[in-house]
């Protein structure tokens, strides 16, 4: 089976590794192949036997399955770019965290070009589960794609034959999950500033005894520092989803700003260099909070 991966970020690379390990033929395209990060991406592809394409069109041509795993803001754009070159009746699996409206728009583009669009809602973090991450499928062609995906090693199940339902499920979950990330960073860092973090964590443990707040804090700081840019784009799509329901997305909008703010700090080197192996890998969230607070203190003195 020939599979085209559009997007070779963290998710794309994990899927490439697992699909290749299962014997699938994988061709990939990412706009970053030619940029500063291109050498590392190309090296990874070569190591795992992934073919590199020089364009969206080259990648998807003759592919039985196209998997779109880009940033949320590019979901419709990728469908528009790939649509004219997709193989007749070829499947287009959209894994991007986009709003139901964006998924329906992307589906119209792909289906009009002769492909078969299926939305995929990834329901938790990919790295621990890899290709087995829980995946909800949606759309009229979801049932036809499900056995193919599971034969490749995915843990996919049809959620709805109606487009947008799977995405709405993920987006509503993200209001909570991504919002918790933003709240933990804001609450923990502020508590650290005032020297009351131990008292705050003790109170949280009393209220929510089933959560290890020390461990959870370190994990959430790591994920946002490393992936805040992608998360902020996703939560902006979450805000669109909330707005499509007729509500003002105050929580989602604030979460997106906090995630983007953390990404800006990470890009500025506040938490170290992304090239360093220990980047965003501290087992104690206080280390990262102290770096952030020190940076803010310096900035405020200017």
Q: Within this chain, do residues 76 and 176 fall inside the same structural domain, yes or no?
A: no
Beta bridge partners of 28: 5, 52
Q: Within this chain, do residues 6 and 138 fall inside the same structural domain, yes or no?
A: yes
Asked if 128 and 120 touch (Cβ cutoff 8 Å), the reply is: no
Single out the residue of 202, 256, 197, 200 nearest to residue 229, CA to CA: 256
Q: Within this chain, do residues 53 and 94 fall inside the same structural domain, yes or no?
A: yes
Q: What is the pLDDT of residue 203?
A: 98
Overall domain count for the chain: 2
Q: Within this chain, do residues 159 and 194 fall inside the same structural domain, yes or no?
A: no
pTM given for the model: 0.87
CA distances 134 to 72, 122, 131, 150, 199, Å, are 19, 6, 9, 11, 36
Q: Within this chain, do residues 155 and 178 fall inside the same structural domain, yes or no?
A: no
Asked if 161 and 134 touch (Cβ cutoff 8 Å), the reply is: no
Q: Within this chain, do residues 39 and 137 fall inside the same structural domain, yes or no?
A: yes
State the CB neighbour count (10 A cutoff) for residue 12: 25
Q: Within this chain, do residues 79 and 195 fall inside the same structural domain, yes or no?
A: no
Torsion angle, alpha carbons of 178, 184, 189, 194, to 10: 150
Q: What is the pLDDT of residue 267?
A: 93
Q: What is the pLDDT of residue 205?
A: 97
Q: Within this chain, do residues 155 and 175 fall inside the same structural domain, yes or no?
A: no
Q: Within this chain, do residues 272 and 292 fall inside the same structural domain, yes or no?
A: yes
Choose the final residue of a domain: 141, 163, 185. Answer: 163
Range of the domain at 53: 2-163
| Helix segments in the chain, DSSP class H | 10-21, 38-47, 56-60, 75-82, 100-112, 126-129, 142-152, 165-194, 197-207, 213-244, 250-267, 285-301
Q: What is the pLDDT of residue 106?
A: 97
Residues in the chain where the model's pLDDT stays below 50: none
Asked if 189 and 293 touch (Cβ cutoff 8 Å), the reply is: yes
Asked if 113 and 83 touch (Cβ cutoff 8 Å), the reply is: yes
Backbone angles phi, psi at 261, to 5 degrees: -60, -45
Q: What is the pLDDT of residue 81?
A: 96
Choose the final residue of a domain: 134, 163, 192. Answer: 163
Any idea what the CATH number is for the domain that residue 124 is in? 3.40.50.720
Q: Within this chain, do residues 195 and 286 fall inside the same structural domain, yes or no?
A: yes
Rounded CA separation 92/115 (Å): 7
Q: Within this chain, do residues 20 and 92 fall inside the same structural domain, yes or no?
A: yes
Q: Within this chain, do residues 141 and 193 fall inside the same structural domain, yes or no?
A: no
């Amino acid at each position: 089976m020939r599979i085209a991966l559009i997007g070779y970020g963290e998710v794309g690379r994990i899927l490439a590794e697992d699909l290749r390990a299962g014997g699938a033929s994988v061709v990939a395209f990412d706009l970053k192949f030619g940029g500063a990060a291109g050498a590392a991406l190309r090296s990874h592809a070569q190591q795992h036997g992934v073919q590199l394409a020089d364009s969206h069109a080259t990648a998807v041509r003759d592919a039985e399955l196209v998997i779109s795993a880009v940033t949320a803001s590019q979901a419709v754009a990728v469908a528009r770019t790939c649509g004219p070159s997709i193989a007749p009746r070829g499947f287009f699996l959209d894994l991007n965290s986009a709003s139901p409206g964006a998924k329906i728009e992307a589906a119209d583009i792909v289906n009009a070009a002769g492909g078969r669009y299926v939305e995929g809602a990834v329901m938790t973090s990919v790295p621990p589960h890899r290709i087995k991450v829980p995946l909800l499928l949606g759309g009229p062609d979801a049932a036809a794609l499900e056995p193919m995906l599971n034969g490749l090693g995915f843990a996919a199940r049809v959620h709805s034959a109606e487009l947008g339902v799977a995405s709405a499920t993920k987006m509503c979950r993200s209001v909570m999950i991504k919002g918790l990330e933003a709240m933990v960073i804001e609450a923990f860092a502020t508590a650290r500033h005032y020297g009351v973090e131990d008292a705050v964590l003790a109170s949280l443990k009393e209220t929510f005894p089933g959560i290890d707040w020390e461990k959870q804090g370190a994990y959430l700081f790591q994920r946002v520092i490393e992936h805040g840019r992608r998360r902020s784009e996703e939560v902006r799509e979450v805000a669109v989803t909330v707005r499509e329901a007729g509500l003002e997305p105050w929580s989602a909008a604030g979460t997106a700003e906090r995630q983007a703010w953390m990404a800006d700090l990470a890009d500025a080197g506040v938490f170290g260099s992304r090239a360093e192996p220990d980047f965003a890998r501290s087992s104690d969230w206080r280390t990262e909070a102290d770096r952030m607070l020190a940076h803010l203190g310096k900035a405020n003195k200017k």
